[in-house]
Each structure stands twice: as structure tokens, then as C-alpha cells.
Amino acid sequence: MYIRRYVLAVMPLIVSSSSNHICRVCEPFCTCDYSFGRGSEQRVLKMSRLPKTWLITGSSSGFGLLLVRSILAQGDNVVATSRNPSRTPDLVKEVESTSKGKWLTLDVTSGATTISTVIEEASKIFGTIDVLINNAGYSIFGAAEEIAEDRAKAQFEVNFWGLIRVSQAVLPIMRAQRSGTIVNMSSVAGLTASPSCAIYASSKFAVEAWSESLCQEVAPFSIRVLIVEPGIFRTNFLGSGAVQTQPVSEAYRSNVVDIMLQRFEDMNGRQQGDPVKAAERIVENVQRGLTKEELGKVENLRLPLGHDCYDRVAEKMAKLKQNYESSKSEDVDVAIKE
């Protein structure tokens, strides 16, 4: 903390008063190489970047594990978490074999008090939490009509409410230090819902909405919110341990729901997306950061990953625009005539 305060004190002396840029990587605790100003007045800080401390939920597999490895490889600190670390002793040993890695037990469905206790413990390991990645989640597929209420609520408990609980526990730390990044792992399904994905997509739509509001609320504290929207990647997402499937009834057999479920089954292990590259893109995006002027703006909120994500969302936006434009003349003018 003393080093960081010193950096805050000397930054105005290093950067000319005419510069209207701040470091896009680790402001306000910047000691990295970055160009300030424009044109002939451009200056460059030639110093080494202080390591960030990242906390990641759902670290035992998929994107969570790949993110942990990517972050450690670049020299930052990582607090990896999972619901039951005893099930992955080799991974815990791998992460904790370096002084920059620590693994804690964190069940995102626990109560707020329990989660706050874990977050407080995590923040003391390396002195703070600079980046939170809400990655814990799973999927349940099946016909919207046939997924029972308790299974739907369990899906939201992890994918949505768990994310909120952890974020609410970390935000006071970030507000106090007036810096931080919250990365919420959504999905292309958070913007466009396919048959058989009603409950899973709903949980991700909720994440998108909550994040969109949050990013505007916390920007004044120099806190960034980033939504990551992966398409189809070759992780364990479609594997038996990560996905739950509601068997289709006779009514939906050979229906689009049944066809989509079969497509998912056939796709498992053959997805085109490289999850290692995706994890690297996420880390690079967080490290690049935003200027203060860019913080809180919805146009800077999302990171789509994969051509399939981009294509599906572009198609959705085109259809949404067509829907709105076709309705405008008849349906918009519904004001009370005074």
C-alpha cells in the first residue's frame, strides 16, 4: 500500500498537466509503460507494472482454470476458489506451488455472511483484490415448459444470485481503493436464446442487465465492469459434469428442443473455439483497461468471444431492429392525449 500511495503522489509530477490521458492498464496505481498525451507532447512512463491480485470463482475447470493459469503465467497474484477444493487436490497443489497462488473454498450459494468472510480472508492474502472474475456457473437444458421450478431456481442461485453475492462482498474493497474490475462471465446466450436454453439463457440475460446497471453506478469509483460473452468453446461446458438435461416428453420429441439437445450432444468435444486463446483475450482486455472517460459507458461493457458469438448477436440485432421499425408507426404513439 505504501508503494501505491507513493505512485499516486508522484504521478502528477511525472505526467504533464496538458495530458488528458490516464493509464488504461492499472490506474490509479500505474507504474507501467504507457504513452501520455498526444503528438509531440507524448510522454512514456518507463517503469514496471505492479502485479494485480485476481479472485476467480469456479476455478476448478473450464475457463476458470485456464484464467488462473494465464494470470499466474504473466506474474500476477491469483486467489482461485471452488466449492470443493478437496476434489481437485492436484490443481490446488499446482496453483499453490507458486507464492503468487492461493486456493480457497467458496460456495457462491452460501449466505452473504459466509461469502463476506471468505472475501475478507482472500483480500488479506495479497493485500487487496484488484480484479474479480465471476465465473462459477453451470447449465440446464430442456423444454421451457418442462423444467421444474426447483431446478430453475437452482440455476439462478448459482449463475445469477451467486454472482451478485460475491460482487457485493468485493465492491466495498474496490470502492475504498477507488479502483478495480469486475468481470462477469455471461454467454452468447445472454443476448440471444436458443430452443432448450430458456432457463440458462434467462440467468445470463439477468447477468447482462445487472451488469449494465452496475457499470454505470460504480464508474464514479473508478471501478470497471466487463461482461464476457463466449460463443461455443471446447471446454467441459457441454460435458456431463457441467450440464444438466431435462429429458424431453413425448410432446417435444422430434421438436426443435429435441433437435437442439442432440446437436449439443454431438458438438461436445468438437467445438471450434480455443478456450486457451479466449482466456488470454480476457486477461489482455482487463489489463488494457479503460480511460476514465470510457468507464460506465455501455458501449464499452461487453467482450464477445468467437465468430459464432458475433454472428448470432449481429443476426439478433438485425431482427430486433426490424421488429422495432415495423412496429414504430402503429404501436409507439400510445400517449395520453391531454
Q: Catalytic annotation on 97?
A: no
C-alpha separations of 294 from 56, 222, 305, 334 in Å: 25, 10, 21, 36
Say which of 59, 123, 139, 186 is annotated catalytic: 186
CA distance 230 to 159: 15
Q: Which helix (H) or strand (E) holds 284?
A: helix 275-288
Name the active-site residue from 200, 202, 203, 211: 200
User: Is 316 assigned a catalytic role?
Assistant: no
297 counts as catalytic: no
CA distances from 131 to 68, 181, 224, 308 (A): 12, 5, 9, 27
- Give yes or no for a cis peptide into 28 (omega within 30° of 0): yes
Which entry of 82, 179, 204, 211 is annotated as an active-site residue?
A: 204
Contact 27, 289 (CB under 8 A): yes
Measure the CA angle with vertex 142, ends 140 and 147; round to 5°: 80
Q: Which residues are CB-contacts of 242 (< 8 A; sequence separation ≥ 6)?
A: 61, 62, 138, 139, 235, 236
Active site positions, annotated: 186, 200, 204
